[in-house]
Structure 1
């Protein structure tokens, strides 16, 4: 057995989460648990599908910082979630509340909405409810690939905040 040299890699202890990280980890865990419950899948079945113990899944769902990225990715795959869906879901409700309190949505900022509102004369704005209604009525024709990120976010906020109107088939 040799002595450890200064150039030998020594595994460092895992850093403690700092700042907002603990809250973000907990929010991610809540999102994962919510998705699992939404799908009606038990913790045991999810853990088995992800190739881990139920305890590890519990640690992920409670926001423990010590779980591996690989374990997290296995759970996401088992629940058909993308990494990008994890954060921001907690803030969606607050953003949606702000959006629906807005008096008007500027059409010029949202190219697709501007096209959908071709019949609106004399104003460059719509109420959040009017915008949500237009998007809902035209949802089959929306090409998500062509939407700009800010318009995609507006649709998500409006969908979250405003109940979908009855749309004739």
Structure 2
């Protein structure tokens, strides 16, 4: 491996190939392993289903996908319902849908029902 490639790896350059990253990892004694299994997702139903009339204000920390979408905000931040729906729609392609719980699914549907006639615009 050339010094230039090693410098690119160290600086985080996007032009480095995966093969070069694997070679650098092996050179320092690390092994890279790919796995097709995902950790199990536990369903949590702490609260009752969301009432469409009660989605005026949404606390960011109560919903993991919303928290991931607005990572720069504090968990105690409260968004109004319309802003929460637009945040979900704007960041939909970046979110891990396999980890969404039933409570958050109900919230997203309630927001869509209230603000966009039941349709999530993604």
TM-score normalised per structure 2:
0.47
Computing the radius of gyration from Cα coordinates, the structure with the larger value is 1
Return the structure number with greater helix share: 1
Higher RCO by CA contacts (8 Å cutoff, separation 6 or greater):
2
TM-score normalised per structure 1:
0.35
